[in-house]
Structure 1
Amino acid sequence: MTRGVSAALALCLFTTGCVAGTSSGSAAPAADQPFEGEVEFWTINLKKNYSAYIEGLIAEYHKQHPKVTLKWVDVPGQESATKLLAAVASGDVPDAVNITSLDLGRFAPSLKPLDDHFKPEELADFQANLVEPLKQDGKLYAVPWYNGGAPVAIYRKSVVTKAGFDEKAPPRTYDEALTLAEAVYDKTKVYGTNDIPGISAVNVLRYYGIELLSADGKSAAFNTDQAVRVLERFRKSYDQHGIAPGAVSKDVRNFPQTLENGQLAFSASTFAATLLNIQKNAPEVYKDLVVTEPVQTSTGGYLLSAQQAFAIPKASQHQKAAAEFIKFFTNGTNQLAFCKIVPIYPSTISSTKDPFFTGGGSDDPMVVARQVIVKGLAKLEYNPLGTGKDAELGELLAEEIRGFLSGTKSAEEALDAAEKRWNDALV
């Protein structure tokens, strides 16, 4: 798996993929009459690498429903939101659409609430903490599919132990992680971490309990005295090389100091796909890794950046048939099969009971990571900004933090600038 593919899957940062649908406009069958015809469903960025898996599901579904034909459309992520908007505007929509949770808010008005199609007992196998965020005003607009899993912490044991690291008592907060990072550099001259500002500047502030938006969601709320203190803590660690110098690079997928190239000691919160890249590109480093639970929020949980889900557009003429297909496509057995071929994690509880996730007896980092991640799934907290511009806002904040760490502005100036840029974007 390439670095780009694994990172995209693990971080779940796809956007919704959609193209023109094939709804005929004919009346839907009666409730007690089995559907006969074509159901079109759309996915995002899966065809190139996972055609065999999807086509296998299509064949199995056809065996169970011989009078139903499934049409699969897969769309590049960079085109997906635009195509969905066009499909909704034209009324020519898919019957079932793979949508990222980041896009759910802006598309919800054009989606069919699923409560009539998914009874509580049919949702019982899904992690409740993954279902709830897909509701708006008490109505369910999508059902969970897969996600990047709970984060893990990855340490180069031969390096961090020289600074007093105990894998049975790893850092529980970012402050503790930064203290370790500074000690590592002091003892070994290996840079500590590049987690900050990294790809999750927004999430890092949330781990400190800092609210990002006002209650009405119309303005920034993070410009506080506490945030100033947090940024100054970052700067202290950056100056002492606890945060690696390359962490101020905008290209977060190609930091100059990494675990792979041996210039970094650890990541206190990352995704399992990182392990696959290290295993492939730096096998000697991989052998030196120890995996533990990551840093936690003030409530003892972990933040989920996004999740993949399935929804049904209001304009679909085959909503009941689409719902039945989604139930099959996202069931525990099929999610487990998908997780075995790509480093993603299921939304179904039954999938996590399989020995693939629970099997012990090995200190292989990837095996340990799966156990840590499954243990953490129930602790995942998904609280998107819900602005429709979440990714843009995150980058604006990260840019200002990078400027602060580089010494071009004070913490107050960085937060003032970030606040103004957020408020301008939220207008």
Structure 2
Amino acid sequence: MTPPRTALAAGLLALAVLTTGCVAGTSAGAPSAAADQPFEGEVEFWTINLKKNFNDYVTGLITQYQKDHPKVTVKWVDVPGQDSATKLLAAMASGDVPDAVNLGSPDLGRFIPSLAPMDDYFKPEELADFQPNLVAPLRQDGKLYGVPWYNGGAPVAMYRRSVVSKAGFDEKAPPKTYDEALALAAKVYDETKVYGINEIPGPSVVSVLRYYGVTLLSEDRKKAAFNTPEVAAIIERFKKSYDEHGIAPGSVSKDVRALPQSLDNGQVAFTASANGSTLVNIQKNAPDIYKDLVVTEPVQTAGGGYLLNAQQTFTIPKASKHKKAAAEFIKFFTNGANQLAFCKIVPIYPSTISSTKDPFFTGTGGTEPMDVARQVIVKGLPKLEYTPMGTAKDTELAESLAEEIRAVFQGQKSVKDALDTAEKNWNDALV
């Protein structure tokens, strides 16, 4: 029996690389006549940590695909999450590669040199159902290296009504920028002695700085570009809020999944931008706080959008001998109907426009926090901005900068020293 959506949210959404797959088919180098022939043979499809919770969903899709392609046999292999990157790197090095690979977008830049452009296999009309704002970031140097699968949705803001109301919070006019959020956080602490927020340019440094329109890398992606007076002023602004208790002290923790002060334990008044799945844990662990929450649109970028930190994608290795067959399977696995079915199992959001027009998404009109969150998230999907740095070391670079910012908040370094060190670390890593 398929597990309920709420029980699966935290585990599924925490995966940076969820699945990998492999499909057999005609060789891209074969004559055009052979390429037009239907593929006959075995399709090997890898996933990561799906079998335990999603066996019914995946095997159901495999059964349907085999029914529609009676000469194709799909072999499903499920790989432990901790082995996924190592296994894929080993496959790339050996040349014995899978044909269709699901990558978390933060890893895309790392593998692009070993991936095949997908433009030859996906016509514009076959990409038309995907949100354009989710497809565009998967292009590099004009070439498409992946197609979107699912994501965590647009972020939402959550406010504890009983606390923020004492600071003059207007539910119809929530903060639209981080500066406005910091101002509200200061008022909240002054009036209630409850910490305002947890957000700092630490673990989410790349995201927070991008909301301010900061350019992190040079155009050629070979040098850091964030060491500027403007960025120093942003960090000083957050540090001031931290020192004055608008930002909670535990925000410097590396473990953002278990911060000492949180909405769950009642020690934080609001979050200006968070994944909607957070509501699942709050409803379960702190039902009284859940009932007190006001859910609104989150803070916005300068362009009025919302940042997406990551999305799940499907890619095709350059060394694959069966690129066309891989693309055909990817088209099936990521189509609107199949994405909608997955969204009904776990609280994730689709990359396909048609899925969001289903009553499952459009029919939500309730006033419960999660009902409102779904409305905010679906409305915000077309406004999502996913702009990866696109290097082979995106995760490493973000953590390096975050470590320096933590040192600032903990009084161990000046802002200038931290940015100078982070800049050098980035430039050394990008050589």
Aligned equivalents of 1:10 and 1:167: distance in 2? 28
- Find out whether 1:58 has 2:42 as its counterpart: no
Superposed CA RMSD in Å reads: 2.2
Which of these residues, 215, 220, 223, is aligned with residue 219 of structure 1?
Answer: 223
Equivalence for 2:168: 164
Aligned equivalents of 2:152 and 2:324: distance in 1? 29
* 1:252 match: secondary structure: coil
- Find out whether 1:174 has 2:178 as its counterpart: yes
Q: Give, in angstroms, the shift of residue 16 of structure 1.
A: 6.6
Cα pair 1:11 1:271 within 8 Å, conserved = no
**Which one-letter code corresponds to 1:287 in the other structure?**
K
Instruction: Say which is worse superposed, 24-33 or 357-366, in terms of deviation.
Output: 24-33
Cα pair 1:12 1:308 within 8 Å, conserved = no
Q: How does 1:405-416 map to 2 (within 5 A)?
A: 405-416=409-420
Aligned equivalents of 1:327 and 1:356: distance in 2? 22
Q: How does 1:79-228 map to 2 (within 5 A)?
A: 79-228=83-232
**Which one-letter code corresponds to 1:229 in the other structure?**
A
Q: Give, in angstroms, the shift of residue 152 of structure 1.
A: 0.8
- Seen in structure 2, the aligned counterparts of structure 1 residues 286 and 334 have a Cα distance that, compared at 3 Å, is same
- Find out whether 1:391 has 2:395 as its counterpart: yes
- Find out whether 1:371 has 2:371 as its counterpart: no
- Find out whether 1:294 has 2:328 as its counterpart: no
Equivalence for 1:13: 16
Aligned equivalents of 2:104 and 2:5: distance in 1? 21
Aligned equivalents of 1:22 and 1:138: distance in 2? 25
Q: Give, in angstroms, the shift of residue 8 of structure 1.
A: 5.7
Cα pair 1:35 1:67 within 8 Å, conserved = yes
Percent of aligned positions that are identical = 73
Q: Give, in angstroms, the shift of residue 68 of structure 1.
A: 0.9
- Find out whether 1:312 has 2:283 as its counterpart: no
**Which one-letter code corresponds to 1:221 in the other structure?**
A
Equivalence for 2:426: 422
Equivalence for 2:253: 249
Q: Give, in angstroms, the shift of residue 394 of structure 1.
A: 1.0
Equivalence for 2:351: 347
Q: Give, in angstroms, the shift of residue 34 of structure 1.
A: 1.3
**Which one-letter code corresponds to 1:410 in the other structure?**
S
**Which one-letter code corresponds to 1:61 in the other structure?**
Y
Q: Give, in angstroms, the shift of residue 346 of structure 1.
A: 0.5
Which of these residues, 75, 78, 81, is aligned with residue 74 of structure 1?
Answer: 78
Q: How far does the alpha carbon of each residue in 1:66-87 deviate from its partner, in whole angstroms, 9 at most, with x for none?
A: 2111122232333222211111
* 1:378 match: secondary structure: helix
Which of these residues, 243, 247, 262, is aligned with residue 239 of structure 1?
Answer: 243
Q: Give, in angstroms, the shift of residue 48 of structure 1.
A: 2.1
Figure out how many residues of one structure are paired with residues of the other and give that number.
425
**Which one-letter code corresponds to 1:132 in the other structure?**
A
Q: How far does the alpha carbon of each residue in 1:3-26 deviate from its partner, in whole angstroms, 9 at most, with x for none?
A: 9963464366337747xx796998
**Which one-letter code corresponds to 2:268 in the other structure?**
L
- Find out whether 1:329 has 2:344 as its counterpart: no
Aligned equivalents of 1:22 and 1:381: distance in 2? 31
**Which one-letter code corresponds to 1:143 in the other structure?**
V
Aligned equivalents of 1:15 and 1:63: distance in 2? 26
* 1:392 match: secondary structure: helix
Which of these residues, 271, 274, 278, is aligned with residue 274 of structure 1?
Answer: 278
- Seen in structure 2, the aligned counterparts of structure 1 residues 286 and 198 have a Cα distance that, compared at 3 Å, is farther
- Seen in structure 2, the aligned counterparts of structure 1 residues 414 and 109 have a Cα distance that, compared at 3 Å, is closer
Q: TM-score, normalized by length of structure 1?
A: 0.94
